[in-house]
Structure 1
Amino acid sequence: MSDSLGQLFTQQPPVLFRVAQLVGITGSAFVFGQNAFLSYGACPTIMEAPAPLAARQWVKMYNSAHIVGPITAIASGLSAAYVAYNQAPESLAFKLNVAAAVLLPSIVPFTYAFIVPTNKKLFAKADSLAATSLDNKAAEAGVAKEETVHALIDKWATLNFARALIVGAAALLAAWAAADKREVVGFREIALDVGANRLGN
């Protein structure tokens, strides 16, 4: 391998570039893990409780998680966009990071289009059952099955897991871009001192 090629494959990108990579990957992986746990860990546990208690527990879970997820996803998307901006458009890493940068903030419109209506119903349920005994198992007698607290929580968990998959796909794309050994070839500030470049042209 020539000195120029050796320098190409050993030269480290700037610190800010690497920090952005780290934020993009770890941030999106965190949001994926958080949402996957809420859907497959927290919600099934909440659904074991009677409707009045389940509604209250869902609201508490929602309030503890609904701000961190979107903010982290958007920050990760911006980080992926910054990384892509500093890579050559023809490189695989650029394409992967652009895809990640598009997917991550897309959970915001996805949430408003598909999840918010269910959120509103669950908040309304929590309000309507606020004065009901928490262990009242017959609190929703006569309510249509698909409109019960448990059915709504189950629907929310399914939609939330779909949202998690979007973020998980973005995390995989960002990690793939960072792990690709050819990524450094596409970095804008690295140039080979061969051919015309070697002559300073």
Structure 2
Amino acid sequence: MSALPLGFRLAQLLGLTGAAWLSGNIAAFSFVAAPALLRSCNEGSASASTVVKQWRSIYEGGKAQNPPIAAATAFSFLYLAWASRSTKNVAGPMAWEISTLYGTASFLTLGIIPFTLIFMRGNLNALVSKANMDAVSADKSGLEIQILISKWIALNAIRSMLPLAGSVVGMIATFL
């Protein structure tokens, strides 16, 4: 049995699984949901206006769900960074290395928020604008909508790597 306190172990569990789950959740939008929307548009089974409205629904769900999960996960990693500096079970310089790794894991996991604001905002605003158009206008912008969704897929896939990297760095800290 480990000598680490239960709260520390629970924070490890929440941090590692939260970051990995968050990464998978974000990636699923890029690798499953959004490509399926594009296929339905390309195959003619859904209009561009329908596809962009469905994309907006998926986006709004992720926008509401993922930042709080990222915050809770990042907080767990921050707690681990703080607690690993002062635990009696990790001595000397190794405690600072582990603390730095947990802090980095927190930063990476929470990085989805600034990444979205800095790199994705223009694309997101354009897609939301298209989703708010009437059906005729949106359907006339069909190719543009497909290009915007394709760009969003790529940017979102990159964003999904941030919490994955946080999970990996947290795992390294856990097993040092």
TM-score, length of structure 2 as denominator length: 0.84
- Tell me whether 92-101 or 31-40 shows the greater mean CA deviation: 92-101
Task: Report what 1:131 is aligned to.
Answer: 135
Task: Report what 1:55 is aligned to.
Answer: 52
Deviations 1:45-85 (A, max 9, x none): 11122311210110111122112111111111111111111
Task: Report what 1:169 is aligned to.
Answer: 165
1:98-137 equivalences under 5 Å are 98-128=103-133, 130-132=134-136
Task: Report what 2:44 is aligned to.
Answer: none
CA distance in structure 2 between the aligned counterparts of 1:66 and 1:140, rounded to whole angstroms: 24
Larger radius of gyration: 1
Task: Report what 1:179 is aligned to.
Answer: 175
Deviations 1:9-53 (A, max 9, x none): x54211111111111111111110011111111111111223112
In the TM superposition, residue 154 of structure 1 has moved relative to its aligned partner by 0.7
Task: Report what 1:37 is aligned to.
Answer: 28
Report percent identity of matched pairs. 29
CA distance in structure 2 between the aligned counterparts of 1:11 and 1:19, rounded to whole angstroms: 12
Aligned residues: 162
TM-score, length of structure 1 as denominator length: 0.74
CA distance in structure 2 between the aligned counterparts of 1:90 and 1:104, rounded to whole angstroms: 25
Deviations 1:134-193 (A, max 9, x none): xx9x6237xxx6xx101001111111111111111001111222233xxxxxxxxxxxxx
Task: Report what 2:15 is aligned to.
Answer: 24
Are 2:86 and 1:90 equivalent residues in the alignment? no
Tell me the C-alpha RMSD between the 2 structures.
Answer: 2.0
In the TM superposition, residue 132 of structure 1 has moved relative to its aligned partner by 3.0
- Tell me whether 87-96 or 32-41 shows the greater mean CA deviation: 87-96
Structure 2 letter corresponding to 1:90: P
Structure 2: unaligned runs, 5 residues or longer: 42-46, 86-91
Structure 2 letter corresponding to 1:62: Y
Task: Report what 2:141 is aligned to.
Answer: 140
Structure 1: unaligned runs, 5 residues or longer: 1-9, 181-201
Structure with the largest fraction of helix: 2
Residue aligned with 2:84, SS: coil
